[in-house]
Amino acid sequence: MDVVLEQIDRSAAPAAGASEKTLRVLTAALEHPRFTDIVAEAGLAKATVHRILATLVEQDFVAGDADAGYRAGPSLLALAGRALASVDISSIAGPIVADLVARVDCTVHVGVATDAEMVYVIREDASKPYRMRSRVGLGIPMHCSGMGKAVIATWSPDRVDRLVAREGLPARTALTLTTPEALHEELARVAARGYAMDLGENEVGTVCVSAAIRDHTGEARYGLSISSIALEHPGTSIEELAPAAVAAAEQISRLLGAPAA
């Protein structure tokens, strides 16, 4: 936002108080189109808000007026576009993943959703002597992976059905969900509790608990999983790590600019 403030006042760097007021008005204008709501949200005098809005409109960081309502202007959209283009999920999520691995001592993955599968972009191993067969760049099906189910549980049923019609529900193990009815029932459970589990559905003897990661639009574009082997986490015991998975996914979501859930 230093760039924003420099362009708003080219004569001199604004005082801290002025900077804070400008940011409060800009944030309020992005959340509320009506002038009265912007005033209430910013918590400033009407005259102050009006003056700051006029400057933001002049500099194209805000567009509109009190009659038509306010919205993001072209300068702000261009700045946001450059910021989003520079987002690197690996660098953002990396420190959080490393901390999570240290706390749970299990392998942690982060994957990005495509139209058909989840693709691993991070794999951080635990201190255990065994290693997962996963690798960065490997794609895994949505319907039988924890990360995939966490993501598609946020989709509409119609969108899930289109995925099933296009990709099918191939069995990876004897435990894979292979009917649309079973998949929809499972996704309803995932949506209700806020996390997904894979109890040997993708790979025999491997289990995980996963949560979706949301981007700046609020869409679930990524997933995080805590993975282990069934010998170490038998039955549904991997579910004990669900709060840690959800918390880490939410932390990454916030860093990606996701709105509050």
177 and 163 assigned to the same domain = yes
Q: What is the CATH number of the domain that holds 235?
A: 3.30.450.40
In the chain, the amino acid numbered 219 is: E
Ranges 13-22, 44-53, 111-120, 155-164: which has the least confidence: 13-22
Query: Is pLDDT at 4 greater than 50 in this prediction?
Result: no
Looking at the domain assignment, is residue 260 inside a domain?
A: no
What integer pLDDT is reported at residue 133 of this predicted model? 79
Q: What is the CATH number of the domain that holds 47?
A: 1.10.10.10
Mean pLDDT confidence for 52-72:
89
pTM value is 0.72
Query: Is pLDDT at 202 greater than 70 in this prediction?
Result: yes
Query: Is pLDDT at 196 greater than 70 in this prediction?
Result: yes
Which of 49, 69, 84 is at the close of a domain?
A: 84
Q: What is the mean pLDDT of the chain?
A: 88
Looking at the domain assignment, is residue 179 inside a domain?
A: yes
**Tens digits of residue pLDDT in 101-135:** 999 999 999 999 988 899 999 999 988 887 777 88
At which residue do the structure tokens 């007021």 appear? Answer: 21
Which of 36, 64, 84 is at the close of a domain?
A: 84
- 110-128 core/surface letters (b: 16 or more CB in 10 A; e: else): bbbbeeebbbbbbbbebee
In the chain, the amino acid numbered 230 is: A
139 and 232 assigned to the same domain = yes
74 and 99 assigned to the same domain = no
What integer pLDDT is reported at residue 152 of this predicted model? 97
57 and 120 assigned to the same domain = no
Looking at the domain assignment, is residue 261 inside a domain?
A: no
What integer pLDDT is reported at residue 192 of this predicted model? 97
What integer pLDDT is reported at residue 225 of this predicted model? 97
Radius of gyration of the chain (CA): 23
H/E stretch holding 92 reads: helix 89-104
The partner residues of 141 in beta bridges, in order of sequence, read: 117
Q: Give me the number of domains the chain comprises.
A: 2
57 and 174 assigned to the same domain = no
What is the distance between the terminal CA atoms of the chain, rounded to a whole angstrom? 25
Looking at the domain assignment, is residue 207 inside a domain?
A: yes
Looking at the domain assignment, is residue 54 inside a domain?
A: yes
120 and 76 assigned to the same domain = no
What integer pLDDT is reported at residue 15 of this predicted model? 45
Mean pLDDT confidence for 133-144:
88
At which residue do the structure tokens 């306010």 appear? Answer: 70
What integer pLDDT is reported at residue 84 of this predicted model? 55
Looking at the domain assignment, is residue 197 inside a domain?
A: yes
191 and 212 assigned to the same domain = yes
76 and 52 assigned to the same domain = yes
Looking at the domain assignment, is residue 34 inside a domain?
A: yes
What integer pLDDT is reported at residue 129 of this predicted model? 80
170 and 215 assigned to the same domain = yes
What integer pLDDT is reported at residue 233 of this predicted model? 94
**Tens digits of residue pLDDT in 172-181:** 999 999 999 9
Looking at the domain assignment, is residue 188 inside a domain?
A: yes
Beta strands in the chain, from DSSP E residues, in sequence order: 62-65, 69-72, 107-113, 117-124, 139-141, 196-199, 206-214, 220-229
The partner residues of 197 in beta bridges, in order of sequence, read: 209
237 and 119 assigned to the same domain = yes
Question: What is residue 110's three-state secondary structure?
Answer: strand
The partner residues of 120 in beta bridges, in order of sequence, read: 111
208 and 106 assigned to the same domain = yes
What integer pLDDT is reported at residue 241 of this predicted model? 97
Which of 54, 84, 114 is at the close of a domain?
A: 84
180 and 123 assigned to the same domain = yes
- Classify strands 107-113 and 117-124 as parallel, antiparallel or unpaired: antiparallel
What integer pLDDT is reported at residue 90 of this predicted model? 86
What integer pLDDT is reported at residue 162 of this predicted model? 94
Host domain of residue 98: 87-255
